[in-house]
Amino acid sequence: MSYEGEIVRRAFSQQALPLVSYGIPFAEACQSHVQGLFEASRVFIICSGSLARNTVNLEVLKEALGTKVIGVRVGMKPHTLFSEILEIVEVAKAAEVDVIVTLGGGSLIDGAKAVAMALANDAKTREGLLDLPYLLDKKGSHPNVKASTIPIISIPTTLSGGEYSDYAGCTDDVSGVKYLFRPPLKGPSLIILDAALTITTPIHTWLSTGIRAVDHCAEVLCSLQSDFLADQAAIRGLKRLIPGLLLTKANPSDTDARYDCQLGVIDAMVPLNRKIYPGASHGIGHMLGPMGVGHGETSCILLPSVCKYNAKYKANVERQKYVTALLWGIPVVRGFLGARSLVEEKADLGDVLDAVIREFGMPRSLKEVGVGRERFAELAVNSLSDPLLPTNPVPIDSKEQVMEILEMCA
């Protein structure tokens, strides 16, 4: 069952799932696919706390789904804490849910992925979660792990892109370390895009998570492991995201620009789907987040400095030059770069990205988000456990290397 005006397509042309739905209001689409695509009758909703408090969108969704809703979780803390995952697992298991719906941002989406994986493997404790497969764990250490079976419908309100991946970044409350749980964990089967819904997202969150998507594109285009198809998707993503973000900054009610941003996120996630991984901006950012820094803000702070670090050691000079020229070639970007007195022949990629991020009014230093030098050593040590540091153009395997980047961001 689908509604007139709805478009449903594959997110990634080479695989059946996830599907993407757009063109009709989110509640109508969700109701249609819960009944038709998933034939589900026991729906568990995980909803953003701010969305539940400040809008009627949760009530609209519940009304559309009616008696099929057997449980609702309102709110999860940023960066998806183990303790909250386990709380939801307990409730969802008792309720015998057959589909999970998320309404909100990236932390909820990662939470739903982890919950589905935990339910499939009867993981009920911190130790149970740590026994699930994650990046950098020991190969062969999970011989009996089962794939997620409960499908997830994601209705995203930000641009972080987690709904398009089969990974889930979750933070251990005890150690403060963020783990990237990996397949056979599964991402959402269906993503419902509703540009009008995202107008309720605070503009700072919208723009900062948009820079997170820009970070996906930039780190892929700077990667030494990328390929032609990944590069082409990242180029499309940048050309959609930056103009779209600028338009929504000027006019938050511009749903066409918001829709362009949402499509840009799909482009930004194509490389990860092709197993082309980002680098140190994402890797250090995973560990910076649990220190109280927003998901998108980590990219705003780290990306330009990581580019300058890689350039300093001449790891990817030609690829950085290409991305720099690409950004200068976007008319709206060229306009504000000139207004900020950047000279095309002299500005490097770090300079250009710094100007882009400042144009959105985002934080550009660790000091601005309350992370002082007294925390750098802890952050550096934690970052070394992230699987994306070795994929950086300059592979990072020492505390001193991370500290050098952090000093650039101080």
The neighbour count for residue 50, using CB atoms within 10 Å, is 17
Side-chain-side CA neighbours of 290 within 13 Å: the count stands at 22
With 0-12 / 13-18 / 19 or more C-beta atoms within 10 angstroms meaning exposed / middle / buried, residue 174 is exposed
Residues 164-220 pLDDT 10s: 999 999 999 998 888 989 999 999 999 999 999 999 999 999 999 999 999 999 999
pLDDT of res. 355: 96
Residues 350-393 pLDDT 10s: 999 999 999 999 999 999 999 999 999 999 999 999 999 999 99
Q: In the chain, what percentage of residues exceed pLDDT 90?
A: 92
DSSP 81: B
Residues 235-287 pLDDT 10s: 999 999 999 999 999 999 999 999 999 999 999 999 999 999 999 999 999 99
The neighbour count for residue 227, using CB atoms within 10 Å, is 13
Cα separation, 142 vs 156, in Å, equals 31
Are 364 and 300 in contact, with CB atoms under 8 Å apart? yes
Residues 6+ apart with CB under 8 A from 13: none
pLDDT of res. 265: 98
End-to-end CA distance of the chain: give it in Å, rounded: 53
pLDDT of res. 248: 97
Q: Which residues of 341-361 are buried (b: 16+ CB within 10 A; e: fewer)?
A: ebeeeebbbbbbbbbbbebbe
pLDDT of res. 205: 95
What's the sign of the alpha-carbon dihedral 226, 244, 51, 266?
negative
Are 178 and 287 in contact, with CB atoms under 8 Å apart? yes
pTM over 0.75: yes
Residues 6+ apart with CB under 8 A from 363: 297, 300, 301, 369
Torsions phi, psi of 310, nearest 5? -65, -40
Residues 6+ apart with CB under 8 A from 75: 47, 48, 49, 52
Are 180 and 169 in contact, with CB atoms under 8 Å apart? yes
Cα separation, 80 vs 109, in Å, equals 9
The rounded mean pLDDT for the chain is 95
